[in-house]
A and B are shown apart, each in its own frame.
Chain A
Amino acid sequence: MAVIENLKPRGYVIQAVIAAIFVVFIVRLFYLQVIDDTYKQIADDRGIRKEQVDPDRGQIFDRNGKLIVYNEPSYKLMVVPSQVKDIDTIRFCEIIGVDKEYFEKKMKEAKNFSRVRESVFLSQISAEDFGRIEEYLYEFKGFYTAITPVRRYTYPAAGHLLGYIAEVDSNDIKKSDGYYRNADMIGKTGVEKSYEKLLRGKKGYHNIVIDRFGRAVGPLNNGSEDVEPVAGKNLTLTIDIELQYYAEQLMAGKRGALVAIEPSTGEILALVSSPTYDPNMLSGSARNKNFAKLALNKENPLNNRALSGYYPPGSTFKPVMAALGMQQGSLTSTTGYSCPHGYVMSGHTVDCHNHPYPANVELGIGHSCNAYFCYAFRYFIEDHSNPAEGMRDFKAKLALWGIGTRTGIDLPNERNGNVPSPEDYDKIYGKGRWKASNCVTLGIGQDRLILTPLQSANSMATIANGGYFYSPHVLKFADGEDSLMNAFTIRKETGISDSIFKYVRHGMAGAVNFGTAKVAHIDSIQVCGKTGTAENPHGKSHSWFSCFAPEVNPKIAVAIIVENGGWGATYAAPIASLVVEKYMNDSISAKRKPLEERMMKSVLILDREVVPPIQNNSNQDTTKQVQAALLPKEQ
């Protein structure tokens, strides 16, 4: 009992503390409600509503200052559920062009959001539909119209590279630290995603005075407390939209990818994944329908093969192998290996075609001799203390080329490719129970070697530069954001000197002049190139060509793969050389016009309805044409 007696005063202390807090609250309320009259002016049947004002999304230009992406107004129908009364649902649905389920679903969503605030009922209405709807809208209380911008594209090209914007999902909202709200738009892929923060700008807020039914009366204090939106930054990209569009036309009707890089800067000149789509298809009212169509198409046109397509590089890897061998010293410029129609091993033979004796590394590249590079690889590995060590070194040196690792391009969804590690072979053959001869075909770009088209193009840029590259990138300039470019000005070294690359370049020039890539020869430009054929277990081989031009002071490096294109010289080399010629000379010589026409018209995809070849150059018409061809039922 004594203890309890002692502690009684503590009970009073607690009561005093509680009472004190209540007194503080009452004093504060007295101040808020009686003394302070900041809010009294709006107390009479009025309120303020904070309305979000969306900034204009940044426009996008190409390297020559041509406008590629801009905004166009689009029309929305809004609803305030509490104001909707005695509506003739059937007539309303007819006029608006929706069905009853849609009507009920949207009304339910709107009520759940708020009974007295606006919700979007129907978005991205075409101008003509909008005109018709506005005419009848007076019949339907509670519905209003609103205008918002949509993305438009001046060329029906570069869909993968530019990406698209769409409404945020719950994940986007969660990750944005409170920036995004329902129905905001966000870049989902491509440049729109990479540079979302620059492009989106900063939202503004307007304080709107409203009456007791939530209807807007006018701005608060003449808008003096409003926060105006800040428009998004305009971006200038490194791509040449004409070249991009030209390359897409050449690739039309074929499955594959093409990447063109300016070697001296790492700037992407064109980045094509085929089959592609007109970016206008994924903007505006048609997006949902078109997206489903594209997503379900078995040719998978939404996949960006240039960054994520996995292909064995085949013979296009030989120039890289030559450089690695000479760097190691296991190969010299004057090494020759005899080729008895292939590289003969105890078990089987790696076949080669018929060609003169490759007396040195230049001839090895020029004639694309398989045996030569099997030897080059074998001696590279055997130059190390054991095969595992050699393989580790092989992998590490390729990583410096951006092979087997990401190149660091400023676009989402780039993949690593693959360079095998010693452990991969330990798994097959047992630890330490394998040697170079178990994997010599790595030297000719087979076995477990996988490159993305971007990595292949980047390796060409590296050879063109003589041993270094800048991370490939698509952003050339954004006002006031110079620091963004820092990552792209770091010279990434392979550790191989230019004196070695001299032979490689010369060998590649030989391949075009007298070897396997003669079709890529352009009279006015010395192209250095290498064809390749990636074996495809599922069908006809994939056709590769990697090149750069001119030999001295190169301006462009290109890698291209045409799936099921057969020999590299069949489709890949002609298309790449046309892209080079177009970029260097701005036009195609008369002599090569038939080649151009043949490439544009050739079709390797059976499902022609989906991705037709693009025929002419005029922008808007083509856009419509493509859309018409793509969407026969809608138009």
Chain B
Amino acid sequence: MREKKSIMENVDQPLLWLYLSLMVIGLLNVFAVSFSDDVKFFDLSLPHGKQFLWMGISLVVGFSILTFESSFFTKFAMVLYGVTIAVLIVTFVVAVDINGARSWLQVGSFQFQPAEFGKTTTALMLAKFLSIINGQPRSFKNKLLSYLIIGVPMGIIVLQSDVGSALVYASLVLVVYREGFPVYEVLFVLAIGLCFVFALIFGVDPVAVVLTFIIWLYIVFNSFKLVRKEKIKGIVFLVIFSAGVFFFLIGGEVLGMDTHIAAAVMLIAMIAALINVRKVRFFQMNIPVVLFAILMVFVMFGVETITTDILEDYQVQRIETLLGMSDDADAEYNVTQSKMTIGSGGVFGKGYLQGTLTQSEQVPEQSTDFIFCTIGEEWGFFGTFIFLVIYLLFILRVIFIAERQRSPFSRVYAYCVASFFFLQIMINVGMTIGLIPVIGIPLPFISYGGSSVLAFSIMIFIMLRLDADRLFILR
């Protein structure tokens, strides 16, 4: 009893209040979606009723988490992670297809997405691993293991066709960045992402051409010193390298060659050029060229594989819609309806429960993925502004908590939490206002969905529990 009291004293009050206010906002908005003149607030058969029930369950579970020892989470991080991987695989095998994804597991009448709970356990595992190697040199093996801890569940989730959740896991690059992984590594991961998006927008070939042009400029500008020092070697290097680039640039158009083959020829020429000058020590061009080669291979060979094999048709279509590339009326419809609903809210909104577009079901899946539309319509810019500020404060508070930890385990975990929330809200709100392709993931605490609310609550309460012990070093 005494101990419990002391824990409640140490729980971060601002975050707790921010959390509770988000929950209330969520419940009010789910109710607004199902509202009509004959709907009562306490009706457990309707979404808002169920949501209310789940919030209650989440609070009970959350506060009982506060009674755990902090060491429980460090001790069992690995076990929980192992269980998560197993459950994700089982889900992939046995799950039924819901909206094109095989990511839902059914236990009795309760359906849940293991990927939601896997976020917490993956965060714990990453925290555990990074705290073990804290202060040690970042060997290649350690870094690889860190990326694998993130990548394995992500890969399984991609196989489940749940690209939205997988993207959220990708947000953990922010955490390894904060933990001191080299910036260029993190930037490289981001570069792959950017190349992917640009290749989707402009097609594979223009991206490859631009990348090639950039590396060529980089090499030419850096070659002056070399040419001055070793004239013949330098010129031979430049000629071979430029010939490779030239061959690629004209190969496709003029010679009518398959661009994949032209790209391969260019990469071989570049490597040959580098071998020629490998003994000139100060000449640091290997790493940029290797990175370039990896990017090129990804762009030339990976993007098509991903768009045709990994991303579901509807997702490619939605990306294309957003980029104005598709004339498919249906995919465009979602975004248009969503923007229209938000836009119709104006400055001060139409008032709570007065959302006419909301109530006439203008936006598909409005209680789940498109709940932000309801806020936009009923509360206007005033409401969305306040809402985003609350959410931003929430995330910044999580980072604040992370930074005040003495134990690396707690810090890493808290950063994971912040990253997850950041990416969820970025994708979810981004898609409703037409800045990001339509990828179905919920807005934490706001969207209707029991397993999402419960999973994010557990995530938050574990962090609150760890934070209550912030003065200790956890291993």
Q: Taking beta carbons and an 8 Å cutoff, which residues of A are in contact with B?
A: 3-4, 6-8, 10-11, 14-15, 17-19, 21-22, 24-26, 28-30, 32-34, 36, 38-40, 42-43, 45-50, 82, 114-117, 177-178, 205, 210, 212-214, 227
Q: How far is the CB of B318 from chain A (nearest CB, A)?
A: 10
Q: How far is the CB of A212 from chain B (nearest CB, A)?
A: 4
Contact of A11 among B178, B328, B384 (CB under 8 A): B178
Instruction: Tell me whether A26 and B385 are in contact in the complex, defined as CB-CB below 8 angstroms, given that A14-B177, A178-B317 are known contacts.
Output: yes
Q: How far is the CB of A376 from chain B (nearest CB, A)?
A: 53
Q: Is B12 an interface residue (CB 8 A)?
A: no
Q: Is B258 an interface residue (CB 8 A)?
A: no
A33 contacts B356, C-beta separation under 8 Å:
no
A29 contacts B361, C-beta separation under 8 Å:
no
Mask, B338-361, CB within 8 Å of A = 1, is 011011111100100000110111
B135 contacts A212, C-beta separation under 8 Å:
no
A33 contacts B361, C-beta separation under 8 Å:
no
Contact of A19 among B330, B343, B392 (CB under 8 A): B392
Instruction: Tell me whether A47 and B360 are in contact in the complex, defined as CB-CB below 8 angstroms, given that A3-B180, A205-B329 are known contacts.
Output: yes
A29 contacts B384, C-beta separation under 8 Å:
yes
Instruction: Tell me whether A21 and B381 are in contact in the complex, defined as CB-CB below 8 angstroms, given that A6-B180, A34-B346, A43-B346 are known contacts.
Output: no
Give Cα distance in the complex from A227 to B329, angstroms.
10
A32 contacts B399, C-beta separation under 8 Å:
no
Give Cα distance in the complex from A39 to B344, angstroms.
6
Give Cα distance in the complex from A40 to B415, angstroms.
41
Give Cα distance in the complex from A50 to B376, angstroms.
21
Q: Is B232 an interface residue (CB 8 A)?
A: no
A212 contacts B343, C-beta separation under 8 Å:
no
B361 contacts A15, C-beta separation under 8 Å:
no
Besides the contacts A7-B180, A10-B177, A47-B356, what 5 more A-B pairs have beta carbons closer than 8 Å?
A14-B178, A33-B347, A33-B381, A33-B384, A48-B362
A25 contacts B174, C-beta separation under 8 Å:
no
List residues 411-431 of chain B with CB under 8 A from any CB of chain A: 415, 418, 422, 426, 429-430
Q: How far is the CB of B313 from chain A (nearest CB, A)?
A: 6
A22 contacts B360, C-beta separation under 8 Å:
no
Instruction: Tell me whether A115 and B403 are in contact in the complex, defined as CB-CB below 8 angstroms, given that A25-B388, A82-B36 are known contacts.
Output: no
Give Cα distance in the complex from A32 to B340, angstroms.
9
Instruction: Tell me whether A116 and B403 are in contact in the complex, defined as CB-CB below 8 angstroms, given that A43-B346, A177-B313 are known contacts.
Output: no
Mask, B350-390, CB within 8 Å of A = 1, is 10000011011110000000000000100011001100100
**Residues of chain A within 8 A of B350, CB atoms compared:** 43
Q: How far is the CB of A141 from chain B (nearest CB, A)?
A: 13
Closest to B100 in A: A174
B343 contacts A40, C-beta separation under 8 Å:
yes
**Residues of chain A within 8 A of B356, CB atoms compared:** 45-47, 212
Give Cα distance in the complex from A45 to B418, angstroms.
39
A212 contacts B359, C-beta separation under 8 Å:
yes
**Residues of chain B within 8 A of A19, CB atoms compared:** 392, 396
Give Cα distance in the complex from A503 to B340, angstroms.
78
Q: How far is the CB of A168 from chain B (nearest CB, A)?
A: 15
Q: How far is the CB of A477 from chain B (nearest CB, A)?
A: 29
Q: How far is the CB of A202 from chain B (nearest CB, A)?
A: 10
Q: Is B331 an interface residue (CB 8 A)?
A: yes
Contact of A210 among B135, B339, B360, B396 (CB under 8 A): B360
Give Cα distance in the complex from A277 to B384, angstroms.
63
**Residues of chain B within 8 A of A17, CB atoms compared:** 174
Instruction: Tell me whether A25 and B361 are in contact in the complex, defined as CB-CB below 8 angstroms, given that A11-B403, A34-B346 are known contacts.
Output: no
Instruction: Tell me whether A49 and B362 are in contact in the complex, defined as CB-CB below 8 angstroms, given that A10-B178, A32-B339 are known contacts.
Output: yes
**Residues of chain A within 8 A of B408, CB atoms compared:** 4
Q: How far is the CB of B27 from chain A (nearest CB, A)?
A: 20
The CB with the most chain B CB atoms within 10 A, among A7, A33, A178, is that of A33
**Residues of chain B within 8 A of A10, CB atoms compared:** 177-178, 180
Contact of A178 among B330, B344, B359 (CB under 8 A): B330
**Residues of chain B within 8 A of A29, CB atoms compared:** 342, 376, 381, 384-385, 388, 433
**Residues of chain B within 8 A of A116, CB atoms compared:** 36, 359-361
Q: Is B179 an interface residue (CB 8 A)?
A: yes
**Residues of chain B within 8 A of A227, CB atoms compared:** 329
Q: How far is the CB of A14 from chain B (nearest CB, A)?
A: 6
Q: Taking beta carbons and an 8 Å cutoff, which residues of B are in contact with A?
A: 36, 134-135, 174, 177-180, 313-314, 317, 328-331, 333, 339-340, 342-347, 350, 356-357, 359-362, 376, 380-381, 384-385, 388, 391-392, 395-396, 399, 402-403, 408, 415, 418, 422, 426, 429-430, 433, 435
**Residues of chain A within 8 A of B362, CB atoms compared:** 47-49
Give Cα distance in the complex from A227 to B339, angstroms.
20
B388 contacts A26, C-beta separation under 8 Å:
yes
Contact of B388 among A15, A22, A82, A205 (CB under 8 A): A22
Give Cα distance in the complex from A272 to B342, angstroms.
60
Closest to B34 in A: A115
**Residues of chain B within 8 A of A205, CB atoms compared:** 329
Closest to B355 in A: A212
Give Cα distance in the complex from A506 to B339, angstroms.
77
**Residues of chain A within 8 A of B342, CB atoms compared:** 29, 32-33
Give Cα distance in the complex from A80 to B385, angstroms.
36
Closest to B419 in A: A14
Contact of B346 among A25, A33, A38, A82 (CB under 8 A): A33
Contact of B396 among A18, A32, A213 (CB under 8 A): A18
Q: How far is the CB of B135 from chain A (nearest CB, A)?
A: 6
Give Cα distance in the complex from A484 to B395, angstroms.
59
**Residues of chain B within 8 A of A25, CB atoms compared:** 388, 429-430, 433, 435
- 4 smallest CB-CB distances across A and B, nearest first, come from A43-B344, A33-B381, A212-B356, A39-B343
Closest to B328 in A: A178
B178 contacts A47, C-beta separation under 8 Å:
no
Q: How far is the CB of A21 from chain B (nearest CB, A)?
A: 6
A28 contacts B435, C-beta separation under 8 Å:
yes
The CB with the most chain B CB atoms within 10 A, among A7, A18, A38, A48, is that of A18
**Residues of chain B within 8 A of A14, CB atoms compared:** 174, 177-178, 399, 415, 418
Q: How far is the CB of B51 from chain A (nearest CB, A)?
A: 18
Give Cα distance in the complex from A4 to B402, angstroms.
12
Closest to A13 in B: B177
Q: What are some 13 contacts across the A-B interface (CB < 8 A)? A: A4-B408, A18-B418, A22-B391, A25-B430, A26-B385, A29-B388, A32-B342, A33-B345, A33-B381, A116-B361, A178-B314, A214-B360, A214-B361
Give Cα distance in the complex from A49 to B333, angstroms.
10
**Residues of chain B within 8 A of A26, CB atoms compared:** 384-385, 388
Give Cα distance in the complex from A46 to B377, angstroms.
12
The CB with the most chain B CB atoms within 10 A, among A7, A14, A210, is that of A14
Give Cα distance in the complex from A205 to B332, angstroms.
13
Give Cα distance in the complex from A277 to B308, angstroms.
44
A114 contacts B435, C-beta separation under 8 Å:
no
Give Cα distance in the complex from A26 to B330, angstroms.
27
A3 contacts B328, C-beta separation under 8 Å:
no
Closest to B36 in A: A82
Q: How far is the CB of B377 from chain A (nearest CB, A)?
A: 9
**Residues of chain A within 8 A of B345, CB atoms compared:** 33, 43
Q: How far is the CB of B440 from chain A (nearest CB, A)?
A: 15
Q: How far is the CB of B448 from chain A (nearest CB, A)?
A: 15
Contact of A33 among B36, B380, B396 (CB under 8 A): B380
**Residues of chain B within 8 A of A3, CB atoms compared:** 134-135, 180
Closest to A205 in B: B329
Q: How far is the CB of A44 from chain B (nearest CB, A)?
A: 8
Give Cα distance in the complex from A178 to B435, angstroms.
23
B360 contacts A213, C-beta separation under 8 Å:
yes
A38 contacts B343, C-beta separation under 8 Å:
yes
Closest to A178 in B: B330
Give Cα distance in the complex from A212 to B339, angstroms.
18
Give Cα distance in the complex from A17 to B384, angstroms.
20
Give Cα distance in the complex from A11 to B356, angstroms.
43
B357 contacts A47, C-beta separation under 8 Å:
yes
Closest to A28 in B: B433
Give Cα distance in the complex from A22 to B402, angstroms.
20
B333 contacts A50, C-beta separation under 8 Å:
yes
Give Cα distance in the complex from A116 to B347, angstroms.
27
